[in-house]
Structure 1
Amino acid sequence: MATINVTEAEFPQTIEENDIVFVDFWADWCGPCKQFAPVYDAVSQQHEDVVFAKVDTEAEQRLAAAAGITSIPTLMAFREKVLVFSQAGALNATQFSQLVEAVKGLDMQEVHAQVAAQQAGQE
């Protein structure tokens, strides 16, 4: 699947309506972002069952702030509406492919149980 550009208005719906979503927070002036872009695009072509979104932090400053982006590129992964990965810095193709497979392989029953336990502990 080709990458899609996502705006602040589209972001919640993208997460809600798709099982697995990777999000690349980037900016045009960022050298590492430009190096990571072809890797992100190439890996996206190998996984038709995953949504690969891009957020331009210059155009979507409120979304970047709400997501806590302090360094770019930042890569996030959501699975079943749960943030399961967030890391600043570019990955190479092998690392990124392994990450996609790891997110696909998560035991989401266990993840949801951990989230519920954390929420119960905060109340």
Structure 2
Amino acid sequence: MPVVSLDSRSFGPTLGRPGILLIEWWAKWCSPCRIFGPVFEGMAERYPDITFARVEVNGQPDLVEVMGVQVLPTLMVFRDGFLLLNHVGVLPEPMVEDVIRQARALDMAEVRRKLAEYRASSARVRVGLHGV
């Protein structure tokens, strides 16, 4: 599957899709980005069931700000909309493969259960603080 380009209009809908999403934040002038680019493209070919996307930072300053990207390249890995990894710098291919393996192995039902527990306990704390 080819790498898709994301912009402010396509970012949200792409992030909202189920499955694994890898986003490379890059710029044409960035030397490390030119090193990582072929690795990223090769992984996209090898894993057609995963969405590989790029955001060219010079054209998307609002996305860069909202997502807190400060150094290039940055690789973000999401699964079902949950951010799993926010890595700054070039990653060698074996490490990207390991990240993909771990993202696939993640029990998303357990993640959702723990998130619900956290939100419930956080709400109880907020309610308790208002009574003080």
Bucket of the pairwise TM-score, normalised by the shorter protein = over 0.9
Segments of structure 2 that go 5 or more residues without pairing to the other structure are: 124-132
Given that 1:44 and 1:50 are in contact with CA atoms closer than 8 Å, whether structure 2 keeps it comes out as yes
Segments of structure 1 that go 5 or more residues without pairing to the other structure are: none
Give 2:12's aligned amino acid: P
Residue in structure 1 matched with residue 23 of structure 2 by the alignment:
23
Residue in structure 1 matched with residue 66 of structure 2 by the alignment:
66
- 1:6-45 Cα offsets, whole Å, 9 max, x none, are 1011000001124111100111111111100000000111
- 1:37-95 Cα offsets, whole Å, 9 max, x none, are 00000011111110000000111111011001011111111111111111111101111
**Normalized against structure 1, the TM-score is what?**
0.93
Moved >6 Å (runs of 4+): none
Residue in structure 2 matched with residue 14 of structure 1 by the alignment:
14
Given that 1:8 and 1:60 are in contact with CA atoms closer than 8 Å, whether structure 2 keeps it comes out as yes
Count of aligned pairs: 123
Given that 1:18 and 1:51 are in contact with CA atoms closer than 8 Å, whether structure 2 keeps it comes out as no
Greater gyration radius = 2
**Normalized against structure 2, the TM-score is what?**
0.87
- Which moves more between the two structures, 109-118 or 84-93? 109-118
Given that 1:75 and 1:86 are in contact with CA atoms closer than 8 Å, whether structure 2 keeps it comes out as yes
Identity score, percent: 28
